[in-house]
Amino acid sequence: MPADRDYTVRLNLLHRTTRYTLAPDRIVMASTSGVRYLGYRDIGQLRIFTVYASGAGLMDRCAVRGKEDSILLQSASFAGIGRFVDESPAFRAFVRDLVARVHEANPAAHFLVGMPWAHWVGWVATLIVLGVAVLAGIALMLVGVWAGIALILSSVAAAPLTWRMVRRGPPRPIDAAALQARLAR
């Protein structure tokens, strides 16, 4: 097992900067509000997914669910309103080691890739709304309301990002070795 590894991240304006350390038997989470611990053997689920955030664009997240606690890590650290610092290499290395430690301590843990169902359904609904907006824009133009072109153009402009998020898919299982290989890219 590799030596202890640290990862420091601030999720957003409302969260404090937290330093996560992979100790031999647990994750240590330290911030100005105190120190918490989450044992690897207590982790039942670890999910990797991608989200979109203004100021950061696409970023990866790792949601870790334990018996009594959960944590959320992300590959971009909040640096100010509308500003994030990309920490992808450190994030991937940290999560890769975390996956190995969780798998070793709790072989029954579930590893998932893909955004949570609620997020994915929200993106699918957004894609449907964009399609309806394009049709509404066409209908407006057919009756002589040329403002419909703005509705069409704005919907078409939002479609690529929305489609990319839909294509990333809902949660699906992945084994620990495949997840580690994916994080090594």
Looking at residue 3, its pLDDT comes to 60
Looking at residue 177, its pLDDT comes to 87
Enter the pTM of the model.
Answer: 0.83
Same domain, 26 and 102: yes
Same domain, 122 and 110: no
Rounded to whole angstroms, the Cα distance separating 82 from 97 reads 30
Q: Which domain holds residue 40?
A: 5-114+172-184
Same domain, 29 and 79: yes
Please give the tally of structural domains in the chain: 2
Same domain, 146 and 67: no
Which phi-psi region, left, alpha or beta, contains residue 23 (left: φ > 0; alpha: ψ -120 to 50)? beta
Q: What CATH number does residue 46 fall under?
A: 2.30.29.30
Rounded to whole angstroms, the Cα distance separating 24 from 98 reads 11
Among 60, 65, 64, 95, residue whose Cα is nearest residue 75: 60
Other residues' Cβ atoms within 10 Å of the Cβ of residue 155? 19
Secondary structure letter of residue 106 according to DSSP: -
Looking at residue 45, its pLDDT comes to 96
What is the dihedral sign for C-alpha 177, 97, 20, 51?
Answer: negative
Same domain, 35 and 83: yes
Q: Tens of pLDDT along the chain (185 residues)?
A: 556 789 988 888 888 889 999 999 999 999 988 999 999 999 999 999 988 877 778 889 999 999 889 999 999 898 888 889 899 999 999 999 999 999 999 999 999 999 899 999 999 999 999 999 999 999 999 998 888 899 999 999 999 999 999 998 899 999 888 888 888 87
Looking at residue 16, its pLDDT comes to 87
